[in-house]
Each structure stands twice: as C-alpha cells, then as structure tokens.
Amino acid sequence: MYCTSRFGQQVPIWIDPSVHGMIGLSTTGPNPSIQIDPIFFNQIPPLTAQFWFLHECAHQVVGGDETEADCFAVRNLRNLERFDISLRHIQRP
C-alpha cells in the first residue's frame, strides 16, 4: 500500500495501536503521515480494509471532507477493479 499526497509526496504509513478507536488518522501539512489502527484493520474483511485505507489516503488529497474522502476511496477501488457494482446509483445528482 502507498499513498501520494495532493502535492506528490509519498505519505509514510504507520501501524499505530495508539489510534485505536479512530480507524486511522491522516495528518496533512509539510510532514504528512497516515496512522492506521491495527486492531480495527485486523477485524474487517480485506476489501473493507482497502476502502478505509483509501479513505485515510483521500484526506491527503481532498482535505477534511468526509464525503469526498468516501467518494475518492470508492473511485479508487473501482479503478483497481475491486469494486464490482455499478456506481451510477451513488453518483452525485
């Protein structure tokens, strides 16, 4: 897994039990990072884990907007051909 910020930076990814209860934490700025909760990620199916990883990565691209982060994650899963449903029903009006 990797994540590139909107500025083209490779974002370090840390497996960090201290973020337990938050799924993950995406810190933007000059020293961006992603901390993910290993307890949460070990309890969910792989595709769900990919979604949440991409959601946290999305914050490096779209900022703090949770809906945009969800859409970024779904688009990237679709582009990775890991999301086998039609997206026409969840596109913006």
Closest distance of CB 48 from Zn ion, Å: 15
**Stretch binding Zn ion (CB under 5 A), from 13-21, 43-51, 66-74, 77-85:** 66-74
Indicate whether 69 belongs to the interface with Zn ion (CB under 5 A).
Answer: yes
Q: Which is nearer to Zn ion, 9 or 68 (CB)?
A: 68
How does 24-63 read in b/e, with b if 16+ C-beta sit within 10 Å? bbbebeeebbbbbbeebbeeeeeeebbbbbbbbbbbbbbe
Instruction: Please report, as ranges, the residues that interact with Zn ion according to CB under 5 A.
Output: 66, 69
